[in-house]
Chains A and B, each alone.
Chain A
Amino acid sequence: KQEVTQIPAALSVPEGENLVLNCSFTDSAIYNLQWFRQDPGKGLTSLLLIQSSQREQTSGRLNASLDKSSGRSTLYIAASQPGDSATYLCAADLTGGFKTIFGAGTRLFVKA
Chain B
Amino acid sequence: ETGVTQSPTHLIKTRGQQVTLRCSSQSGHNTVSWYQQALGQGPQFIFQYYREEENGRGNFPPRFSGLQFPNYSSELNVNALELDDSALYLCASSDGGDSPLHFGNGTRLTVT
Contact = CB atoms under 8 A, between A and B. Distances in A.
Q: Interface of chain A, helix or strand or loop or mixed?
A: strand
Given A89-B42, A104-B41, A46 B100 contact: yes
Interface in A65-112: 89, 91, 97-105
B103 A43 contact: yes
Interface string B75-112: 00000000000001010100011111111111010000
Contacts of A32: 98
Nearest to A9: B40
Q: How large is the interface on A (under 10, 10 to 19, 20 to 34, 35 or more residues)?
A: 20 to 34
Interface residues of B, number: 29
Interface of B: 4, 6, 33, 35, 40-45, 48, 55-56, 58, 88, 90, 92, 96-106, 108
Interface of A: 4, 31-32, 34, 36, 41-46, 49, 51, 89, 91, 97-105
24 contacts: A4-B42, A34-B101, A42-B105, A42-B106, A43-B6, A43-B90, A43-B103, A43-B104, A43-B106, A44-B43, A44-B101, A45-B103, A46-B100, A49-B99, A49-B100, A89-B43, A91-B101, A97-B97, A97-B98, A98-B48, A100-B33, A101-B45, A102-B44, A104-B41
